[in-house]
Structure 1
């Protein structure tokens, strides 16, 4: 297998993984709808940063330890589950708190106030933490990356290249979602709609956390 054919083959697999609905897509969409384009891109870049870290770890064999050690895997799995549940419960709490707002409040003002709280760095860190605390990302990279690294290629360099390809595809996909969301954001900016979105996303996050905590290794 040549380097070019390995990159092309991995790009196809990574593209299929990228467009599959999941936690990453839910987080980016929620950020785009409730916080705006800037925070949505920060969340997306945080997720993609985590993907790059997992790619490097898999290339140097660090995630082999994660795959082989049930103790380390369980520790990361429980930490990830707790983190997702914490994010989800926080969204649900905000939904219940904001439900008491006056019906006469300007929806645009409510949306603007919500968007003013998270900083760009905080949104990036949220995306990064979600990606890094998902052990299934590490297992995926450990299982897939070696198959696309030619034996005569530097493993670390090739791992970075493949993870970068995955990141570029993810950036294109997330950009399409974010800009698509902006087209209908005037309607989505309504406080009632944002409460529903937070409630749905929060429930999904808690559900993902429970599934991760109880999932088979």
Structure 2
């Protein structure tokens, strides 16, 4: 069983960490502005699936490997940066149309979901959150916590 004070402290600290916008928040905002509420919700679902993968990775110890290996951490960091650069370049290379004819072709929802998933999966800030932040609230004396 958990302690309510630990849960309250965790919730407060997690909220403060989440308030700082990162690539995931920027992706959600961009999709929402570009295609509306449904696209924003789908991007949130993709990012949430990325968080589930990070949770499972932390539970089985993969996140600890990333922390212990500078090469593994750098690889994830640079893959994430490369993916964000790719998204930015593809956006910049779109040919601008005259103001009267601007019609934004909506991206398929599956593509929005997949991009949200990849943005969060390759976000080193998320991996560090699960590695450095969560253990502060785990009490090994109380045993393991069910996922």
Q: In 2, are the aligned partners of 1:58 and 1:145 still within 8 Å (CA)?
A: no
Structure 2 counterpart of 1:104: 100
- Counterparts of 1:7 and 1:44, CA distance in 2: 24
Secondary structure class of the residue paired with 2:113? helix
Aligned to 2:12: 12
- In the other structure, the counterpart of 1:154 is 144
Q: Structure 2 CA distance, aligned partners of 1:54 and 1:2?
A: 22
Aligned pairs for 1:127-138 within 5 A: 127-138=116-127
TM-score, normalised by the number of residues in structure 1: 0.62
How many residue pairs end up in the alignment?
146
Q: CA deviation at 1:87?
A: 0.6
Alpha-carbon offset, residue 43 of structure 1: 0.8
Equivalent residue runs for 1:1-217 within 5 Å: 2-94=2-94, 97=95, 99=96, 101-105=97-101, 107=102, 110-111=103-104, 114-115=105-106, 118-151=107-140, 152-155=142-145, 157=146, 160=147
Segments of 4+ moved more than 6 angstroms: none
Q: Which structure has greater helix proportion?
A: 1
Provide the aligned C-alpha RMSD in A. 1.9
Give yes or no for contact 1:58–1:142 (8 Å, CA) kept in 2.
Answer: yes
TM-score, normalised on structure 2? Answer: 0.88
Distance change >3 Å, CA 146–CA 103, structure 1 → 2: closer
**Residue 52 of structure 1: CA displacement?**
2.2
